[in-house]
């Protein structure tokens, strides 16, 4: 029995807007266990980010519960990097690392991740000196550096070029098999979902409901988009997505 790190129980989320109440999530239940990689796949604006924000306890559900056991170490790689402009790359990472890890250990982990994300030459650079893709790498490096139990990622590879995407995906998988955190990933790219996830959760248009869930059983390290198995999954997902229109 693996430990549950995040649980959505009958979650509904509504926002009060100018044109009345906007329902974003509708009675959604989902359980994420330690070591799992779960991808939330859905059309843009369907409420995926709202689900992540509730998972991070930044938002409260209107109805239902979002349970994250006490002491769960949560990291969140935001869609737009949220870095402190007055701190360097390394200071930005330390800023959150210091809350969880004592220094000799934190420094070792930081060092490893800076090297793997190819940021070690930029450790003393300030965010405004970095390109968009590099800031996103810092965002991911910061999230990995606290050794999280639960990692939330919102379109983490959005503005990266294909080569770097590939590299960061394998870094993420390597860190995942090392740290065994639970990963809840939001994406609108089916290819990314089938490359990374153990479970792909297909969401409806807003308000988000779970339309279907696909379990993918094949070691992530061996997956490529050329693989007929993946092509089959992708076809299935595309079919379902077209059906949703």
* Chain residues that interact with another protein, rule: CB under 8 A: 56-58, 74-76, 78, 80, 82, 84-86, 95-96, 99-100, 126-128, 146
Tell me the closest approach of the beta carbon of residue 60 to another protein, in angstroms: 13
Q: Please, which residue, 15 or 86, has the CB nearer to another protein?
A: 86
DSSP bridge pairs for 186: 40, 154
Where is 194: in which H helix or E strand? helix 190-196
**Residue 191, class by beta-carbon neighbours within 10 Å (0-12 exposed, 13-18 middle, 19+ buried)?**
middle
Tell me the closest approach of the beta carbon of residue 235 to another protein, in angstroms: 37
In total, the chain counts a number of residues equal to 245
Q: Please, which residue, 132 or 239, has the CB nearer to another protein?
A: 132
Tell me the closest approach of the beta carbon of residue 75 to another protein, in angstroms: 7
Task: Give the position of tokens 């991740």.
Answer: 113
Task: Give the position of tokens 């248009």.
Answer: 205
Q: Are 30 and 212 in contact (CB under 8 A)?
A: no
**Residue 110 backbone phi and psi in degrees, to 5:** -60, -45
Tell me the closest approach of the beta carbon of residue 214 to another protein, in angstroms: 29
**Residue 14, class by beta-carbon neighbours within 10 Å (0-12 exposed, 13-18 middle, 19+ buried)?**
middle
Tell me the closest approach of the beta carbon of residue 125 to another protein, in angstroms: 12
Whole-angstrom CA distances from 18 to 49, 53, 107 are 21, 22, 48
Q: Please, which residue, 88 or 187, has the CB nearer to another protein?
A: 88
Q: Please, which residue, 78 or 122, has the CB nearer to another protein?
A: 78
Q: Please, which residue, 84 or 105, has the CB nearer to another protein?
A: 84
Q: Please, which residue, 84 or 225, has the CB nearer to another protein?
A: 84
Tell me the closest approach of the beta carbon of residue 96 to another protein, in angstroms: 4
**Residue 17 backbone phi and psi in degrees, to 5:** -120, -175
């Amino acid at each position: 029995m693996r430990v549950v790190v995040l649980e959505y129980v009958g979650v509904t989320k509504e926002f009060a807007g100018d044109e009345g109440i906007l329902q974003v999530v509708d009675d959604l239940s989902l359980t994420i266990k330690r070591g799992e990689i779960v991808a939330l796949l859905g059309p843009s604006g369907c409420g995926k980010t709202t689900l992540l924000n509730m998972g991070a306890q930044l938002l409260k559900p209107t109805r239902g519960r979002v349970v994250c056991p006490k002491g769960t170490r949560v990291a969140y790689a935001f869609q737009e990097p949220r870095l402190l402009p007055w701190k360097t790359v390394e200071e930005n990472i330390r800023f959150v690392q210091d809350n969880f890890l004592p220094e000799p250990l934190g420094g070792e982990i930081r060092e490893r991740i800076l090297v793997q994300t190819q940021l070690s030459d930029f450790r003393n650079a300030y965010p405004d000196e970095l390109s968009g893709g590099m800031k996103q790498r810092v965002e991911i490096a910061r999230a990995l550096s606290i050794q999280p139990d639960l990692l939330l990622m919102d379109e983490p590879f959005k503005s990266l070029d294909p080569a770097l995407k590939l590299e960061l995906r394998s870094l993420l998988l390597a860190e995942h098999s090392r740290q065994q955190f639970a990963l809840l990933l939001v994406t609108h790219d089916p290819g990314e979902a089938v490359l990374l996830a153990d479970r792909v959760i297909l969401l409806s248009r807003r308000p988000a409901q779970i339309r279907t869930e696909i379990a993918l059983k094949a070691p992530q390290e061996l997956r490529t988009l050329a693989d007929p198995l993946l092509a089959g999954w992708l076809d299935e997902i595309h079919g379902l997505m077209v059906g949703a229109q």
